[in-house]
Structure 1
Amino acid sequence: MTLTAHELFGWSPEAVVFDCDGTLMDSERHWQEARNRAFREYGLQPPRGFAEQATGLHYEDCGRLMARSVRKPELAEGLTAALLDHFLALVTDDPVTMPGAVQLVRLLSVRLPLAVASNCPRVVVEGSLERAGLSAHFQHIVVPDAGDGVRPKPHPDVYAVAARLCGVRPHRALAVEDSLTGVKSARSAGLRVLGVGPRPQDDSETRADLWLPALHEPELLAWARSWDIRRPLPEP
């Protein structure tokens, strides 16, 4: 059941798990440009509305979707490799945090455990957080890993594992997401979900408990400041 804003703000989580792309890092625009470049590399044009379909997908799933969308399934492997190569080049040259991300993460990291649950490769997540000066604030980073049986979003695995590593029951953790793919993953794992950014038009089946325009909304910061400090404060 989706909560009202009042009900959510009356609750305090015991851990917070953030998505990375589009939530902490302003990298969704890099993924979009990488998709466009990968299509052009193969002499193709992205179909109308493809960006909306691809948002939040694991890059391998996105590569397969790219190939299917132009009816060339034989290009799936090549498009996937090109997509990742172009994205890594773009995000390395221009890492940018989302508005309010640094402030909120620093505010929360002295209060409770923080984790990242992402569909991106670990090297991308770790590099992005390091360049943004945020890596020290997160205790855990969870990404899809076939070897460990951790499936990508919209499966619940990354959020379920992140909550477990933070030492809390899923229903006591808050997920922060920007895409319906991520919201579905977090809700399936049992977490409460705060959506940030533009609210998707078609969220009738998979809803966050609350959507806010950005991470620096005054009501969100006030709510976070109200949580008890449960972690040791850093040395002065």
Structure 2
Amino acid sequence: MAARSHSLLGWSPEAVVFDCDGTLMDSERHWQDARNRAFRDFGLLPPPGFAERAKGVHYIDCGRLMAEETNKPELADDLTAALLDHFRSLVAEDPVTMPGAAEFVRLLSGRLPLAVASNCPEEVVEESLGRAGLRRHFLHVVVPTGAQETARAGDDPAGSTEGRQVVRPKPWPDVYATAAQLCGVRPESALAVEDSMAGVESARRAGLRVLGVGPVPSGEDADRTDLWVTALHAEEVLTWARDRLPDPVPRGGGHG
């Protein structure tokens, strides 16, 4: 385990907001496979190091990046469509949770509000969590709004266009800020659980504290989180949840 400090383990959040891909669901490998298949569809080769640069990037931005880095800007829309089609097929065939993710979610469920903040399309998140049996534990799923609205919002710090509030993708703070609001808590009272640096930046910019999970990043990236663990079944994290969070309160109904 690597950590900037252990202060997180002495703190009790009022809500927890999870990333989906690579945090709850073992789908980063699906994105990688989908990118490779999309490149092959158009007779292109992935640029060196592209997988790392694409991690955590919204799929529309990823399709654009794929086109730019292969000097085929005219293929941006086609690559984006192929990428999403391949990814959805792969997820449907093999919906697998990350190590410890299901156990951690079930441990937190009923103790405090839980939400998901993802760069994926909403139907993909809903289907993935549903297949994994986890959807019922989350009160809210927050994803970016339509690509055209997001693009028109541009650098507007308010994240609005033509008087309408939009939700921009990570690394913008919108998905995490919106999730905390829907959970009824201030951002500084919520914890984000993330595996990518784009997601960490999003959560930090929104004001949440951050638990990083997965392979420890190189350099100073891990220091941008409050704590970094290699998996959500790390004993330190499970003990913290049992000891620091309220006792679970059963709630009726829920999502399927």
TM-score, normalization: structure 1? 0.95
From 159, 170, 179, give the equivalent of 2:196. 179
Q: How many residues are treated as equivalent by the alignment?
A: 233
Listed as ranges, the matches of 1:42-81 within 5 Å are 42-81=42-81
Structure 1 unaligned runs (5+)?
none
Contact 1:66/1:76, CA 8 A, preserved across alignment: yes
> What is the CA RMSD across the aligned residues, in angstroms?
1.6
1:189 to 180, 193, 206: 206
Distance of 1:106 and 1:19 partners within structure 2: 16
Alpha-carbon distance, 1:234 to partner:
4.6
- Measure how far apart 1:202 and its partner are: 4.6
Q: CA deviation at 1:233?
A: 2.0
Residue 143 of structure 1 pairs with residue 160 of structure 2: no
Task: Give secondary structure in 1 for the equivalent of 2:6.
Answer: helix
Question: Could you tell me how far apart the structure 1 residues matched to 2:216 and 2:197 are?
Answer: 9
What is the CA-CA distance between 1:7 and the residue it aligns to?
Answer: 1.1
Structure 2: distance between partners of 1:58 and 1:47: 18
| Residue number among 152, 156, 177 corresponding to 2:173 in the alignment | 156
User: Which residue in the other structure is 1:30 paired with?
Assistant: 30
Whole-angstrom CA distance in 2 between matches of 1:174 and 1:23: 14
Letter in 1 for 2:186: R
Q: Is the 8 A contact 2:6 2:227 kept in 1?
A: no
List structure 1 segments (4+ residues) > 3 angstroms apart after TM superposition: 202-206
Tell which has more relative contact order, 1 or 2 (C-alpha 8 A, sep 6+): 2
TM-score, reference length from structure 2: 0.88
Identity among equivalent positions (%) equals 68
2:160 equivalent in structure 1: none
Letter in 2 for 1:101: A
What is residue 120 of structure 1 aligned with on the other side?
120
CA distance in structure 1 between the aligned counterparts of 2:220 and 2:37, rounded to whole angstroms: 29
Determine if contact 2:115/2:183 at 8 Å carries over to the other structure: yes
Instruction: Determine if the alignment matches structure 1 residue 129 to structure 2 residue 129.
Output: yes
Evaluate the alpha carbon distance shift between residue 60 and residue 120 of structure 1 in structure 2; reply closer, same or farther with a 3 A threshold.
same
